[in-house]
Amino acid sequence: MSFLDERTKASLVLADGTVFSGEAIGAIMDQPRSIVTGEVVFNTSLSGYQEIITDPSYAGQVIAFTYPHIGNYGITPRDDESIRPFCRGIIVRELATSPSSWRASGDLEQFLVAHGVGGMTGVDTRRLTRHIREAGAMSCAFGSAPIEELLFAARNEVGTTGMNLVDEVTTDAPYFVEGGPRRVVVYDFGVKRTMLRRLAELASIEVVPARTPAAEVLGRNPDGILLSNGPGDPAALAHLVREITTLLDAVPILGICLGHQLLATALGATTYKLPFGHHGGNHPVLRIDNGVVEITAQNHGYAVVEDSLRDAVVTHRNLNDGVVEGIRSEKIAVFSVQYHPEAGPGPHDSRYLFAEFARMMDHANARTGNR
């Protein structure tokens, strides 16, 4: 790989006109007048950059890593969370060009090039993070094009508000994952592979496209349904909410991340966009029923309006800003969390939620005599 002084100079320009200098990496490292756009967000995780980059929930976004050294341990296919990265690009302080790990099959820049993902290194990511925290997440453009062209592109980037990005990341056809004795259908809004691995410990899984009608899902006679994570604005997904509404009280449901927002909407709640979202592996969440604080992994830019909840109670709350992190219906067998209990790598504090889902399914089956 090229040394930093041989790289193409590049700029990151935010929609408000703020400019950051650096060098081009990945798919744009040697492209003249390159331009990449997206909504810029920052992630505070200390490791797991490959899982973050391949998380479909980042569709439409440019990821700025707050940890200064990215790429240290290389890349391995075993850590991919999806078939490819769906993010628009990455921003780092320093890209490691000589990774060291017995697991590595290549380096991060090779991975970015192979998947057509561009980025920048040499950026003052501390300054960038502080700016986003104060001004909020916003559209950006980066590349080797002149600054005035990048600014024009940034201001014309639509971002994620009002955008249906689920159609970009969902599976084209159903597929199966062998696992435990129960049967679960997973709505793929951008599901992570780690989520499927955790779920497979308790159930055999059929993953279905996001637009699968509720009647088809119920026709599979599942013991439970999981509404997965995914990208974009939940308010743009009314067509999915209609199907979820049909599923309520028919079968136990667990929602995670976007699935949590859509389940809450189906229960009558509304959502809103957070100033700069929650992206990282170190968010403290209060479990209200017993006062335990869980350290959680999170990746979302939208949240549920607490005052809009009618048929559900808040079960978890973010201790940083008070955001609703979990809900449970008092009438039917459904619950959801905004964070990622499957997180890999990440805290294990919340994995009990899968056991709760299993108990909910078993209780429903015992009550109806299905098993």
Tell me the catalytic residues: 257, 340, 342
Minimal CA–CA distance to 140: which of 277, 301, 276, 14? 14
CA atoms within 13 A of residue 326's CA, in its CB half-sphere? 23
Which amino acid does the sequence have at 101? S
**CA gap 258, 253 in Å, rounded:** 14
| Closest C-alpha to 198, from 180, 212, 213, 174 | 180
Phi, psi dihedrals of residue 315, rounded to the nearest 5°: -110, -25
**Residue partners of 60: CB distance under 8 A and separation at least 6:** 38, 39, 88, 159, 160, 163, 165, 231, 232
Q: Check if the beta carbon of residue 163 is closer than 8 Å to that of residue 184.
A: no
Tokens describing residue 139 = 């559209």
Helix (H, G, I), strand (E, B) or coil at 366: helix
Residue found by looking up tokens 């090229």 in the block: 2
Residue 325 CB: number of other CB atoms within 10 A?
Answer: 30
Please give the span between the terminal C-alpha atoms of the chain, in angstroms, as a whole number.
58
